[in-house]
């Protein structure tokens, strides 16, 4: 059969970030009018599909969130997050061994303290629940990275992410007063042995304050992963049950971002880069894949994390429990799409399941 390029030109629009380009391509056809470029050729064989795959998931990409509870010898199942428990510190060594054996390199800790107060003092107490947890994990497996969430919502009696006052005529989180206790919290976590801190409170100037506070305390080598673009999202619902951290009045819209905004995320991220963030994060992940992509394009040189949050997890679990979806395929497809969008690492409650499926 003779082959010759025809003059049929196909064109389409591609929209990537703000660039809209017209791409023109000539589709060569055989003289009989059939396509001579056939993309299906590379899909015909599973070995070939492996060779041309662009995005590969690996348990090494995962960071598993853990909920550490005050008290002893308790594992309290989290109703809305099947397979996840609040666990007391004594349960951590066994849990960490399992996590390490699955090839998951890191955990991020959230705490449920015995006592909450207006300033969340358990968060920076030398023997606070998180500090105890960090020491227990590091004593068991020094090779598992221990990341700590730096925030106050789990530790305050009002459930907000910092110190609340009403100096502006209505109750709101006081940005600059909160920066001071965020530094105290991060230093306490580092003194306990945290390997990386992850501030999630969306306070302005948070990264600069923490960087200089850590450096002053001698922790200049501890990296900061900033929850740089964190949205005021309904997808955090199950987490607030898990961490017992729902705000007791109002909501978090005066500090977390409006889901409608993406350009603003680039400003948040650029500020955090300027202030010295080592790793950036977009949160949640699935409804914000466009933000992940734009942040990666704006800062390709900086490692990017995405937080596949509690609601994103629980929806899959609920549908799977009803037999409506294929849990394994859906989960791996979701995690792959987060990486494909541009994330280098993923905080996910699916970490253990996915690591087993990938093994
Ligand atoms: C603390 C924090 C939250 C999450 C992570 N860190 C809750 C919130 O902002 O209300 C949510 C994580 C999830 O939903 O999985 N500020």
Q: Is the CB of 227 within 6 Å of ligand 1?
A: no
pLDDT at 12: 55
Q: Tokens for 187?
A: 């230093």
Burial of 42 from C-beta contacts in 10 A (0-12 / 13-18 / 19+): exposed
- Residues known to be catalytic: 230, 283
Q: Is the CB of 209 within 6 Å of ligand 1?
A: no
* Residue 2 covered by a domain: no
pLDDT band at residue 6 under the 50/70/90 scheme: very low
User: In terms of Cα–Cα distance, which of 246, 275, 37 is closest to 160?
Assistant: 246
User: What is the distance between the alpha carbons of residues 158 and 166, in angstroms, rounded to a whole number?
Assistant: 14
Q: Is the CB of 313 within 6 Å of ligand 1?
A: no
**Residues 210-220: tens digit of each pLDDT:** 999 999 999 99
pLDDT at 228: 97
Any idea which of 33-47, 111-125, 159-173, 245-259 has the lowest mean pLDDT? 159-173
For the cut 90, the answer to whether the pLDDT of residue 281 exceeds it is yes
* Residue 17 covered by a domain: no
pLDDT band at residue 10 under the 50/70/90 scheme: low
* Residue 157 covered by a domain: yes
* Residue 237 covered by a domain: yes
First CA to last CA across the chain, in angstroms? 46
Q: Give, using CA atoms, the residue closest to atom 8 of ligand 1.
A: 236
User: In terms of Cα–Cα distance, which of 151, 321, 303, 304 is closest to 239?
Assistant: 151
* Residue 233 covered by a domain: yes
Instruction: Give the CATH number of the domain where residue 105 resides.
Output: 3.20.20.70
Q: Is the CB of 200 within 6 Å of ligand 1?
A: yes
Site of tokens 């530094």: 183
pLDDT at 16: 54
Average pLDDT over residues 39-47: 97
Domain total in the chain: 1
For the cut 70, the answer to whether the pLDDT of residue 2 exceeds it is no
**Residues 90-117: tens digit of each pLDDT:** 999 999 999 999 999 999 999 999 999 9
Note whether 156 and 118 are within 8 A (CB). yes
Which residue blocks in 79-165 are alpha helix, DSSP H? 92-101, 129-140
What's the residue count for the chain? Answer: 359
Q: Give, using CA atoms, the residue closest to atom 11 of ligand 1.
A: 236
Q: How far is the CA of 32 from the centre of ligand 1 (A)?
A: 59
Q: Tokens for 219?
A: 């922790």
pLDDT at 5: 45
Q: Is the CB of 239 within 6 Å of ligand 1?
A: yes
pLDDT at 152: 94
Question: For the whole model, what pTM was predicted?
Answer: 0.92
Q: How far is the CA of 34 from the centre of ligand 1 (A)?
A: 54
Q: Which domain holds residue 315?
A: 60-358
* Residue 53 covered by a domain: no
Measured CA angle at 214 (ends 208, 215), to 5 deg? 90
pLDDT at 168: 66
pLDDT band at residue 4 under the 50/70/90 scheme: very low
Average pLDDT over residues 292-316: 98
3-state secondary structure of 213: helix
When the pLDDT of each residue in the chain is averaged and rounded to a whole number, the result is 93
Site of tokens 């960490």: 96
Strand 164-165 relative to strand 172-173, pairing: antiparallel
User: What is the distance between the alpha carbons of residues 83 and 106, in angstroms, rounded to a whole number?
Assistant: 18
Q: Is the CB of 161 within 6 Å of ligand 1?
A: yes
pLDDT at 14: 56
Note whether 346 and 358 are within 8 A (CB). no
Strand 225-230 relative to strand 279-283, pairing: parallel
In ligand 1, the atom with minimum distance to the C-alpha of 309 is: 15
User: What is the distance between the alpha carbons of residues 302 and 279, in angstroms, rounded to a whole number?
Assistant: 6
Percentage of the chain lying above the pLDDT 70 cut? 93
In ligand 1, the atom with minimum distance to the C-alpha of 237 is: 14
Q: Give, using CA atoms, the residue closest to atom 2 of ligand 1.
A: 200
Q: How far is the CA of 19 from the centre of ligand 1 (A)?
A: 33
Q: Is the CB of 346 within 6 Å of ligand 1?
A: no
Q: Is the CB of 309 within 6 Å of ligand 1?
A: yes
Q: How far is the CA of 323 from the centre of ligand 1 (A)?
A: 28
User: What is the distance between the alpha carbons of residues 99 and 140, in angstroms, rounded to a whole number?
Assistant: 12
pLDDT band at residue 27 under the 50/70/90 scheme: confident
* Residue 107 covered by a domain: yes
User: What is the distance between the alpha carbons of residues 312 and 287, in angstroms, rounded to a whole number?
Assistant: 9
> If residue 192 lies in a helix (H) or strand (E), which one and from where to where?
helix 175-192
pLDDT at 3: 44
Average pLDDT over residues 142-166: 94
Note whether 225 and 277 are within 8 A (CB). yes
Q: How far is the CA of 234 from the centre of ligand 1 (A)?
A: 10
pLDDT at 262: 98
For the cut 60, the answer to whether the pLDDT of residue 13 exceeds it is no
Cβ neighbours, 10 Å, residue 93? 14
User: What is the distance between the alpha carbons of residues 295 and 211, in angstroms, rounded to a whole number?
Assistant: 21
For the cut 80, the answer to whether the pLDDT of residue 15 exceeds it is no
* Residue 36 covered by a domain: no
């Amino acid at each position: 059969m003779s082959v010759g390029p025809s003059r049929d030109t196909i064109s389409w629009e591609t929209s990537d970030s703000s660039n809209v380009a017209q791409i023109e391509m000539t589709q060569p056809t055989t003289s009989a009018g059939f396509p001579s470029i056939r993309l299906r050729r590379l899909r015909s064989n599973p070995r070939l599909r492996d060779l041309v795959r662009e995005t590969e998931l690996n348990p090494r990409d995962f960071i598993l969130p853990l909920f550490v509870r005050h008290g002893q010898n308790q594992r309290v199942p989290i109703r809305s997050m099947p397979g996840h428990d609040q666990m007391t510190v004594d349960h951590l060594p066994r849990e960490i061994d399992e996590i390490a054996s699955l090839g998951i390199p890191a955990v991020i800790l959230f705490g449920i303290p015995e006592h909450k107060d207006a300033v969340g003092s358990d968060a920076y107490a030398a023997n606070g629940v998180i500090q105890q947890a960090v020491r227990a994990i590091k004593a068991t497996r020094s090779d598992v990275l221990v990341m700590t969430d730096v925030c106050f919502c789990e530790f305050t009696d009002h459930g907000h992410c910092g110190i609340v006052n009403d100096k502006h005529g209505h109750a709101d989180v006081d940005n600059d007063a909160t920066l001071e206790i965020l530094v105290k919290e991060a230093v306490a976590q580092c003194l306990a042995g945290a390997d990386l801190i992850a501030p999630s409170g969306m306070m302005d100037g948070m990264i600069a304050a923490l960087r200089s506070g850590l450096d002053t305390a001698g922790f200049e080598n501890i990296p900061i992963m900033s929850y740089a673009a964190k949205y005021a999202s309904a997808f955090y619902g199950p987490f607030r049950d898990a961490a017992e951290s729902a705000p007791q009045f109002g909501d978090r819209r005066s500090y977390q971002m409006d889901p409608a905004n993406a350009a603003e995320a680039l400003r948040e991220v650029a500020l955090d880069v300027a202030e010295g963030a080592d790793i950036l994060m977009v949160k949640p992940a699935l409804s914000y894949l466009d933000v992940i992509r734009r942040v990666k394009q704006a800062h390709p040189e900086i490692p990017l994390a995405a937080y596949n949050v509690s609601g994103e997890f629980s929806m899959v679990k609920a549908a799977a429990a009803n037999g409506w979806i294929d849990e394994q395929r859906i989960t791996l497809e979701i995690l792959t799409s987060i990486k494909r969008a541009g994330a280098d690492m993923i905080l996910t409650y699916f970490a253990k399941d996915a690591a087993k499926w990938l093994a």
